[in-house]
């Protein structure tokens, strides 16, 4: 992947990624996951599968396949059944060809990884979350962590896919503006110099260990530990990269106390 388009937000990045996928493939349909969260503008509202974010407008041709969730998914950890659900949606819920998958690749579609929350070392062990999934996407969208608060986003893809955008004028007044771009560069340097990703792994691993212990103690409440999307009515934690070991311990103690009172 050698081509980067700078934009102003994650939503814009996902809108652009969808446009590229559709132009490149010549197909309209996109496959997204149930529980998917890619925000709710006129195109991304179709990708998102959480009713709290959706207005009743036509969502586009976007079936939502079952979320492969080994914890509470209907097929447990049976990957073949989840894959069959994707195939069924392509065969019976689309024209037989789709523009893209915001998770996997098949049927002529490109694979898009939305790293808006998970990129830039947030998962500790890897810089990008897709590296934990054994998949090399065709398009990666990023925002949030790229600017650490500045309105900056990006879409990264191959020259071949990006070539479809050369057919018309690309107009984005503030995309790639100097202030945010310099901010983005500084963020990259700080992540590197302060070894933030390694820090996340060092603080995150014991935190996950302690959360797993909570999972066993409060099993009726359903504590979900690991990487994943939104799971309905949950209290979800996304700790900042500066989280210290003491903060992590305090968090688990507070959660343990609160849960024991429920
Ligand atoms: C996974 C994911 N995709 C896309 C977005 C949209 O990003 P933005 O709020 O920068 O438009 C978000 C924001 O919450 C997100 O978490």
pLDDT (0 to 100) of residue 104: 45
Dist. CA 52 → ligand 1 center (Å): 15
Q: What is the CATH number that goes with domain 3-191?
A: 3.40.640.10
Tens of pLDDT, residues 22-39: 999 999 999 999 888 888
Which residue puts its alpha carbon closest to atom 16 of ligand 1?
117
Q: Can you give the pTM of this predicted structure?
A: 0.90
Q: Is 188 helix (H, G, I), strand (E, B) or coil?
A: helix
pLDDT (0 to 100) of residue 103: 62
Give the C-alpha separation, 89 to 258, whole Å: 42
Start-to-end Cα distance in the chain: 49
The answer to whether residue 249 scores a pLDDT higher than 50 is yes
Tens of pLDDT, residues 82-140: 999 999 999 998 889 999 888 644 556 899 999 999 899 988 889 999 998 888 999 99
Dist. CA 143 → ligand 1 center (Å): 7
Mean pLDDT of the chain: 89
Q: How many residues does the chain have?
A: 262
Mutate to test the pocket of ligand 1, among 7, 8, 11 (most ligand atoms within 8 A of CB): 11
Pair 74, 82: CB distance under 8 Å: no
Q: Is 87 helix (H, G, I), strand (E, B) or coil?
A: helix
Give the C-alpha separation, 84 to 74, whole Å: 13
Mean pLDDT of 63-90: 89
Measured on CA atoms in the order 144, 145, 148, 151, is the torsion positive or negative?
A: negative
Q: What does the domain layout of the chain look like in residue ranges?
A: 3-191, 196-260
Mean pLDDT of 63-75: 86
Residues with CB under 6 A from ligand 1: 9-11, 14, 37-39, 114, 116-117, 143
Dist. CA 114 → ligand 1 center (Å): 9
CA dihedral (68, 72, 75, 80) in degrees, to 10, reads: 30
Give the C-alpha separation, 201 to 217, whole Å: 24
Which atom in ligand 1 lies closest to the alpha carbon of residue 14?
4
Which atom in ligand 1 lies closest to the alpha carbon of residue 44?
4
């Amino acid at each position: 992947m050698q081509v980067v388009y700078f934009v102003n937000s994650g939503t814009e990045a996902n809108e652009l990624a969808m446009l590229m996928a559709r132009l490149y493939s010549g197909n309209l349909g996109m496959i997204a996951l149930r529980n998917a969260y890619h925000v709710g503008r006129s195109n991304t509202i179709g990708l998102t599968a959480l009713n709290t974010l959706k207005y009743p407008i036509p969502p586009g041709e976007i079936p939502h396949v079952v979320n492969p969730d080994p914890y509470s998914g209907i097929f447990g950890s049976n990957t073949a059944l989840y894959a069959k659900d994707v195939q069924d949606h392509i065969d019976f819920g689309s024209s037989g060809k789709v523009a893209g998958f915001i998770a996997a690749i098949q049927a002529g579609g490109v694979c898009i990884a939305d790293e808006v929350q998970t990129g830039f070392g947030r998962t500790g062990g890897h810089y990008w979350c897709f590296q934990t999934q054994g998949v090399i996407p065709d398009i990666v969208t990023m925002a949030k962590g790229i600017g650490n608060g500045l309105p900056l986003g990006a879409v990264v893809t191959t020259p071949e896919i990006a070539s479809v955008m050369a057919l018309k004028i690309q107009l984005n007044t503030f995309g790639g503006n100097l202030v945010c771009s310099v901010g983005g560069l500084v963020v990259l340097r700080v992540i590197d110099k302060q070894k933030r990703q390694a820090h996340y792994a060092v603080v995150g691993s014991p935190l996950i260990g302690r959360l797993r212990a909570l999972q066993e103690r409060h099993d009726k409440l359903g504590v979900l530990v690991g990487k994943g999307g939104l799971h309905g009515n949950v209290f979800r934690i996304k700790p900042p990269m500066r989280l210290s070991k003491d903060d992590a311990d305090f968090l688990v103690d507070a959660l343990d106390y609160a849960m024991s009172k429920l």
